[in-house]
Structure 1
């Protein structure tokens, strides 16, 4: 029996996600918050099992809201909701304690899988592998170049900008990025950075 809070400033996005989450097995109640400030105020009262927090919102913003929530309540379970390629916002939230992310255009099935995994793993105090956290074992071995590329990604740099910093062509950076994704089991930049932070490969 779990309660999920959906925090998004867009009424349409908020209601769509609320309806989708309400169909997830094990979720008995879905709360809706229109801002990070509202989520911070309501969390101590409602104490939801999971907060789905939009990264980009006016006012306090999702990343800062997640940081403050987790600083006040380390036991909170937060998953960031983001547009694809928003590596910087995800990375900052993950360093603050968010357990991962889900993209806004994820299918209902993908969203459900992330919610179920997050709720299940939160009960065991483990970060959800589906949301960009290590699932056990040794950290992957990355080359110096791969670490440099991931560090550039964590700072929100484009492949071209990373190439200029490292004196590499953009195509070469893309090659390193593909190898990096494969080693980390990541589908995109945001997930690679999230996994990197979880493993302590990015600081």
Structure 2
């Protein structure tokens, strides 16, 4: 896998920190930066990156609107939103426009690598008709109360351990609920599960 990733964040330090973390992901050969949504829109046709990591909140048109415009002009674009843990509204609007999911800004290196690799591997699947779209052609999946609670926790950027503490469950039990949740939503990972959840209105 040979991939270019575009990191868009208006804060130079945050942008550079994310750039360094992404550059360490296996298969990523080049990371370019953009300081605004406007710049990301200008650079995408030139760079044709395999993945865009777009900050949700930025001056100017902002990350959500930039993602919407980018995906409207280039439906093949692959976008992950970078967000603070509680910015669910921005993530929901971006996902509704076609973003494949989100990253919490204080994500660990391991979690970032997993999310980036998953997003890059999904490029071909999305071009061929993604699983999320297929799920939405049927009825909304029926979740148990615990599965719903776990999904809400994921949408807020909580780790399995944090979700467990909030629900008074062990981390292993949370993982069990998460696996069942992924099967019901036909999601490969947390980001896709949250994306499906937002689209079905299971989380807000």
What is the TM-score when the length of structure 2 is the normalising length? Answer: 0.71
The separation in 1 between residues aligned to 2:134 and 2:31, in whole angstroms, is 28
Gaps of 5+ in 1: 144-175
Paired residue secondary structure (2:122): helix
Q: Over residues 38-77 of structure 1, what are the superposed CA-to-partner deviations in whole Å (9 max), with x where a residue is unaligned?
A: 0000101111000000000011100000000001111100
What's the C-alpha RMSD, in Å, of the aligned pairs? Answer: 3.0
Paired residue secondary structure (1:98): coil
Match of 2:26 in 1: 25
Match of 1:86 in 2: 87
Contact preservation (8 Å) 1:181, 1:188: no
Contact preservation (8 Å) 1:118, 1:128: no
Give the 3 Å change call, closer, same or farther, for CA 135–4 of structure 1 in structure 2: farther
Gaps of 5+ in 2: 158-190
Match of 1:110 in 2: 111
The separation in 2 between residues aligned to 1:120 and 1:134, in whole angstroms, is 17
Q: Are positions 1:3 and 2:4 aligned together?
A: yes
Paired residue secondary structure (1:124): helix
State the shift of 1:180 in Å.
1.2
Paired residue secondary structure (1:53): strand
The separation in 1 between residues aligned to 2:22 and 2:130, in whole angstroms, is 17
